[in-house]
Amino acid sequence: MKIPNLIGYHTSSEGTITFQTVNPITDQFHPELFVEATQAEVDRSATLAKGAYRTFSRTSPMERAQFLRAIITELELNKSLLTVTYSRESGLKEQRAEVEFTRTIFQLTSFADLLSQENLEIKHIDLADPNRTPTPKPQLIKYKLGIGPIVIFGASNFPFAYSTVGGDTAAALAAGCPVIVKSHPFHAHTSFLVAKLVVKVAEEHKLPEGVFSHLNATGYEVGQRLVQHPFVQGVGFTGSIKGGLAIQQLAQQRAVPIPVFAEMGSLNPVVILPSALKKESDNIATKLALSITQSSGQFCTKPGALFLVQAVETTHFLETFKTIFEQQASYSMVHPTIARIYTQRAKQVIDQTNVHLFAQGTVTKTCNLGIPQLSITDGHTFDTNKLLQEEVFGPHALLVICKDQLELEQILENIDGQLTFSLFHNEENIEAQNLFFLAQEKAGRVILNGVPTGVEVSPAMQHGGPFPSSSDSRFTAVGTDSIQRFLRGVTVQK
């Protein structure tokens, strides 16, 4: 069966390049053939999106709320087909599918609720004062307007929540921006099924054609053409640092540069002070082992480096941590390519001078395993080897044993921007200490006595940190505040 592109309200499969998705647990290809979008199809989707923009951006917030709620209804009606396809294409378990589906619904609901608030449209009215001296004052009304057609790139590891109608798409549609999704080739069928529902709802709601399009692609070309298309006005990207930077560079090289909101990978440092280990060493070891290995460590917030200082408590912790970690099972990763890159990257880290394999999880008999691995090094080696400071996407973490807290803080001064920074401690008034200030300066979210995985969807969430974890640390990719990425202010002066 051939799976077409969805361009406005029409299906289209003009291209000759096709690809298939694979079940990573069995290595079997699925029968569907996805037809990659051509240059003409990219152009048509962008032209339709531009045409839809004027009408869609001027729909009332209530109309857009109704649109989002109708998408929710369709997703729920089709939940079982969607979740089965999700697990078939990603290898992620039923329970994970349930959690991610619920999160996707919650994200859409949050935006629909936001749009349903009274007076959302008018942000600020400044009344005129014709009698003001020395100059009369005009009336100013400031609105927020969607910035235009947005291209969305989802990540492989969240086929629902950071993909077709995930957080970025929900935020862009809520802002009144037409969306073109560059479907992720690893879960292309899940993406197509979701996209079909969005298109159906848009048509039923008589929204302008082009408010949503969905393009298949297995290589970079389609995405790159979309980013370069003059009618596209912004990009939402979730994926690797390498991919995000490539997209950002393209967007900057356009005749008219456009913003790229790229949420990328992160090392997510975790500091474990001896004071915390005095109190609950075993509990911390269990929490961290699970956080590193759950869903094969395929989270942007997975702890990638654990920092400890030499102390008796640390020695005891390491013994327990090793035992608990070695009990963690290996699972298939979301795609053979991801599993291959993970295995190579973990080996590359372990092969560095002064780095050693510290613990390894159990090996099971399925394909494309991400074998949990912990490696260990000293503070100086970490500080002087940039390769150790890059994300290993999968169930690997590096233990960094520092001489003392001074060395620990010096090392952390030198690390790049992060999505999260966790601090296990039992100190009085930690929020007034240097380590806490450092954490705030380096990351978008600081977690005290907890693990970074499990991103709460909330208006109080900051998911996005200093570069390179995000392309613009002023914004969040999670929570209703993420709508701000796709809006700009317009003042009407009378």
CB of 122 to ligand NAP, least distance (A): 32
Rounded-to-integer distance, Cα 153 and Cα 20, Å:
19
Query: Is residue 264 close enough to count as binding ligand NAP by CB under 6 A?
Result: yes
Of the residues 53, 101, 111, 162, which one makes contact with ligand NAP according to CB under 6 A = 162
Token pair for 155: 């990540």
Strands 28-29 and 22-23, bridge-based pairing: antiparallel
Its sign, for the CA torsion 86, 89, 94, 95, is: negative
DSSP state for residue 484 in the 8-state scheme: G
DSSP 223-284: HHHHHH-TT--EEEEES-HHHHHHHHHHHHHSSS---EEEE-----EEEE-HHHHHHHHHHH
Of the residues 44, 64, 88, 184, which one makes contact with ligand NAP according to CB under 6 A = 184
Nearer to ligand NAP, 59 or 268 (CB): 268
Query: Is residue 155 close enough to count as binding ligand NAP by CB under 6 A?
Result: yes
CB of 262 to ligand NAP, least distance (A): 8
Of the residues 152, 270, 305, 477, which one makes contact with ligand NAP according to CB under 6 A = 477
Nearer to ligand NAP, 41 or 313 (CB): 41
> Is 300 tagged catalytic?
yes
Per-residue binding letters, 434-473, with ligand NAP (x by CB under 6 A):
-----------------------------x----------
CB of 220 to ligand NAP, least distance (A): 4
Query: Is residue 153 close enough to count as binding ligand NAP by CB under 6 A?
Result: yes
Of the residues 150, 419, 438, 447, which one makes contact with ligand NAP according to CB under 6 A = 419
Q: What are the counts of helices (DSSP H) followed by strands (DSSP E) for the chain?
A: 14, 24
Nearer to ligand NAP, 396 or 463 (CB): 463
- Total residues at interface with ligand NAP (CB under 6 A): 30
Which is the catalytic residue, given 41, 209, 263, 313? 263
CB of 161 to ligand NAP, least distance (A): 9
Nearer to ligand NAP, 59 or 301 (CB): 301
Rounded-to-integer distance, Cα 137 and Cα 128, Å:
5
Query: Is residue 284 close enough to count as binding ligand NAP by CB under 6 A?
Result: no
Query: Is residue 236 close enough to count as binding ligand NAP by CB under 6 A?
Result: no
Query: Is residue 391 close enough to count as binding ligand NAP by CB under 6 A?
Result: yes
Query: Is residue 263 close enough to count as binding ligand NAP by CB under 6 A?
Result: yes
Rounded-to-integer distance, Cα 394 and Cα 368, Å:
12
Query: Is residue 260 close enough to count as binding ligand NAP by CB under 6 A?
Result: no
- Among the listed ranges 106-114, 155-163, 197-205, 277-285, the one in contact with ligand NAP (CB under 6 A) is 155-163
CB of 331 to ligand NAP, least distance (A): 16
Backbone angles phi, psi at 354, to 5 degrees: 70, 20
Nearer to ligand NAP, 162 or 321 (CB): 162
Of the residues 68, 246, 288, 309, which one makes contact with ligand NAP according to CB under 6 A = 246
**Cβ atoms 232, 45 nearer than 8 A:** no
Query: Is residue 103 close enough to count as binding ligand NAP by CB under 6 A?
Result: no
Per-residue binding letters, 43-72, with ligand NAP (x by CB under 6 A):
------------------------------
DSSP state for residue 187 in the 8-state scheme: G
- Among the listed ranges 17-25, 171-179, 257-265, 272-280, the one in contact with ligand NAP (CB under 6 A) is 257-265
Buried b (16+ CB within 10 A) or exposed e, 335-361: beebbebbbebbeebbebeebeebbbb
Query: Is residue 240 close enough to count as binding ligand NAP by CB under 6 A?
Result: yes
Query: Is residue 243 close enough to count as binding ligand NAP by CB under 6 A?
Result: yes
Peptide bond into 257 cis (omega under 30): no
Radius of gyration for the alpha carbons in the chain, expressed in angstroms and rounded: 24
Of the residues 67, 158, 325, 486, which one makes contact with ligand NAP according to CB under 6 A = 158
CB of 240 to ligand NAP, least distance (A): 3
Query: Is residue 331 close enough to count as binding ligand NAP by CB under 6 A?
Result: no
Rounded-to-integer distance, Cα 212 and Cα 8, Å:
6
Query: Is residue 217 close enough to count as binding ligand NAP by CB under 6 A?
Result: yes
Nearer to ligand NAP, 224 or 310 (CB): 224
Rounded-to-integer distance, Cα 309 and Cα 317, Å:
11
Rounded-to-integer distance, Cα 269 and Cα 441, Å:
13
3-state secondary structure of 448: strand
Query: Is residue 161 close enough to count as binding ligand NAP by CB under 6 A?
Result: no
Q: Report angle CA 111, 113, 196 to the nearest 5 degrees.
A: 50
Query: Is residue 214 close enough to count as binding ligand NAP by CB under 6 A?
Result: no
Catalytic sites, residue numbers: 263, 300
Binding site for ligand NAP (CB under 6 A): 153, 155-158, 162, 182, 184-185, 217-220, 223-224, 238-240, 243, 246-247, 263-265, 300, 391, 393, 419, 463, 477
